[in-house]
Amino acid sequence: MRYFQKQKFMELDSILRYFILLLFLKMGFLAGGCDFNMNQPLMAQSNVVLGTSGERFTINGTPTFLLGVSYFDGRNYRESDLVTLSAKGFNLIRVWLDWREDSYLDENGNWRSGAEQDLLRLVDFAHNQGLIVDIAILDKDAAFGNNKSDRDLAVRNVASLLKNKRNVLFDLANEHDTSGFLLQFTHSDAADLNALVKRIDPDRLVTISSTGCHLICTDVNNVETGNIKAEIDEVNVDVLTPHFLRGSDWAAKTGPRLAAIKNYLQSTNRNIPIYLQEENRRNDNTGPTKDEFFEAAENAVNLGAAAWIFHTAAGFTLKGSTFFDNLDPTERLVVDELGSRILGSSADRMPPTSPRNVKIVIGRN
């Protein structure tokens, strides 16, 4: 009887706190961050577990297309950014552990001061917003890539810290085939790192990303089958993550390139998710149009990709501005419309549990 009364009290207390939070948000008393539309329906995210089923990602066992944004400067993340992205229908962000001057790890692969807590806060807050976090651990200029022991320690530290965080995907190395890696990075090296991760966390989903011609180049009929086999059979990736070439016809070729890789995978009974992670982007108000972004994303969905990232520099520097402040006018239109265009009406979501950076702007689009 006492337990029942305690539970009932806790439920009433939670409901009361929820409505008090809504009241404060509606009145606009909270400072900082970007806009959060109070007309957006709200729902709590009780659990977010990323998985795979055949060629699809799953969330809590349900096949789900992942639609994300490049959010590389994760250590300077804004809660308001994540709230608004979730409200607009996005369910994925891509973060780099080594990004410019704000690396989470030092040159020996150890955590920088406060970095463990920073990363845990980001992952947990993303979880509360129903967001998957794709974490790129290594890159060609990573501070901790000078020798194998440092690189192994970095991966071991990350895998151990996030062992119980089920809304996380690891990209072991961004564009692993790039010749500029400080330490040579072969498929065998990637396999060793993946094995290291799986010893610590057997259920962690792992990928490695590659440059434009590693898996398929300009000719959509010319699939690099040897590299695909190596990534799946040797590295043992759970997800295939090519970075397609960014020519002027990139959007129109998204579908044919994707179909060519999928056809090969099906012919060899290697049906795993294909994640289009770093497509073309705008630069200084020039580059792809809104319609090209829509075309590429729709081609990805229609031809069976498991995930697609809206690649943008808006998430590159977040110290002095938000992701949404950094978008150019075309990018703003893409972000405003892409979620509903690709996934339909976004799900109801709950406001942030710690809304220190949220500011309400009523009536702003």
Helix (H) / strand (E) element for 52: namely strand 50-53
Contact between 245 and 280 under an 8 Å Cβ cutoff? The reply is no
Strands in 132-138's sheet, in edge-to-edge order, are 205-207, 168-173, 132-138, 92-96, 66-70, 307-310, 275-276
For the packed helices 79-87 and 115-128, what is the interaxial angle rounded to 10 degrees?
20
Average pLDDT per block of 10 residues along the chain, 365 residues long: 36 43 39 33 64 97 97 97 97 95 91 97 98 95 83 96 97 89 84 98 97 86 92 97 93 94 94 96 95 96 96 96 98 96 57 30 27
Identify the pLDDT of residue 144. 81
Identify the pLDDT of residue 101. 81
Q: What tokens does 214 get?
A: 């590693």
| Secondary structure in 3-state letters for 282-348 | CECCECCCHHHHHHHHHHHHHCCCCEEEECCHHHCCCCCCCHHHHCCHHHHHHHHHHHHHHHCCCCC
Helix (H) / strand (E) element for 96: namely strand 92-96
Identify the pLDDT of residue 183. 74
DSSP reduced 3-state for 70:
strand
Helix (H) / strand (E) element for 51: namely strand 50-53
Nearest to 240 by CA among 190, 188, 275, 192: 275
Contact between 72 and 115 under an 8 Å Cβ cutoff? The reply is no
pTM above 0.95, yes or no: no
